[in-house]
Amino acid sequence: MSVRVRRVYEPPEAGDGVRVLVDRLWPRGLSKDAARVDEWPKGLTPSTGLRRWYHAGEGSFAEFTERYEAELAAPEETELLDHVRELAAAGDVTLLTASKSPGESHAAVLQRLLGGS
């Protein structure tokens, strides 16, 4: 089992396993055929307010992580996170994001929470 993060704009690879889009909006300029997304749990994404706050540069990644983890503690989000955790327990999972800095995005937080590499 492995959980990794990749940009959704990168071509799919054989080792991706289940491809999970973790962005709220569909990536611009990318067809659904090219993306080859298997799951799209929109409820796992940060709230609009948190996303805007972070992208405006008002806080650090550490503070964003803390706030995002608090959002993920809500029942609906916990259920979605558990579902992706089950997918990861069954095989490889690739979390897909359009973020230009995946290592400092919500996808990296999810990867850590899912026990990814």
* Residue 18: φ, ψ to 5°: -75, 125
pLDDT reading at 117 higher than 80: no
pLDDT tens column, 4-18: 999 999 999 999 999
pLDDT tens column, 55-113: 898 889 999 999 999 999 999 999 999 999 999 999 999 999 999 999 999 999 999 99
pLDDT reading at 115 higher than 90: no
Q: How far is the C-alpha of 52 from the C-alpha of 42, rounded, in Å?
A: 16
Tokens of 36: 């080859």
Residues with Cβ within 8 Å of residue 82, at least 6 apart in sequence: none
